[in-house]
Amino acid sequence: MKKNIVLFVLFILPIVAYLFFASGVNSFTKLPVITPKTADFGKWKSLDGKKISLDGKVTILGFSGTELLKNRGNFFNLNQKIYQRYHDFKDLQFVVICPVGTENDAKKVIDALAAFTDVSQWHFLFTSPQEINTYYDQLKLVGELDGNLGTPNVYIIDKERNLRGRKLVKDYKEGYNTFHPAELSNEMLDDFKVILYEYRAALKKNNNATRKI
């Protein structure tokens, strides 16, 4: 019996592990598109006065709603689990769409994050409730905004403005719940790594092509 266990550990288990990870890589080498070509932001005012665009950026998009301060823990979870790990990636931005009138609350959140984080890639945008609903509707998501125009979910949008996620019926994922740190550490982190892998692989391919020319 002991001999069989030793043989299993030495020979069978490594093969099983290899097949498991190999299938995982093949399944997630490209994260599916949930909604293609989402709309860019209009001339909405940002907290720091900068013009913010989805073009050419990997964007983590959120909707704060009017209860921004009440739900500030969600932003800290997202900051801790995703932002702090990858904010050095220059083509990454975290954008939160907020109702006009919540500017002071957003400032309090960003100031609290700034105490221990470089917040240069955090952006809060402000617009009317009607425009927030219109923008959210064109994302064509299954989930809905709550009565305060917010959601705990955040969404991954690639540089071509495609909203990305998982399309399998048994594993459908259009957004990631910031209220649950475990979901950010597992599902979102895995999917976000796939997006980065895509762009790094494309960059490497382009560099190799340039060298050959």
Q: What is the pLDDT of residues 132-171, one digit of tens each?
A: 999 999 999 999 999 999 999 999 999 999 999 999 878 8
Task: Note the pLDDT of residue 45.
Answer: 87
The first and second tokens of residue 7, run together, are 């043989």
Look up the pTM and report it: 0.83
Task: Provide the pLDDT for residue 17.
Answer: 46
Range of the domain at 115: 33-212
CATH of the domain at 145: 3.40.30.10
Contact 64/98 with Cβ under 8 angstroms? yes
Work out the percent of the chain whose per-residue pLDDT is above 70: 82
Mean pLDDT for all residues in the chain:
87
Contacts of 204 (CB under 8 A, 6+ apart): none
Number of Cβ atoms within 10 Å of the Cβ of 97: 23
Q: Which of 65, 63, 129 is nearest to 96 (CA)?
A: 63
75-85 pLDDT, tens digit per residue, is 999 999 999 99
With respect to residue 73, please indicate whether it lies within any of the assigned structural domains: yes
Q: Tell whether the model's pLDDT for residue 63 goes beyond 60.
A: yes
In a domain, 90, yes or no: yes
Ranking 15-24, 69-78, 104-113, 127-136 by mean pLDDT, the lowest is 15-24
Span of 76-80, 110-114, 170-174, 178-182 with lowest mean pLDDT: 170-174
Flag whether 26 is in a domain. Answer: no
Has residue 193 got a pLDDT over 60?
yes
* 15 occurs within a structural domain: no
Per the model's pLDDT, the better-predicted residue between 170 and 127 turns out to be 127
Q: Is the pLDDT of residue 70 over 50?
A: yes
Most confident of 2-11, 149-158, 163-172, 199-208: 149-158
Q: How many domains does the chain have?
A: 1
Examine the pLDDT at 25 and tell me if it is beyond 90: no
- Is pLDDT at 27 greater than 50 in this prediction? no
Whether residue 19 is contained in a domain is answered as no
Q: For the residues 175-195, what does the mean pLDDT come to?
A: 96
Terminal-residue alpha carbon distance, the chain: 61
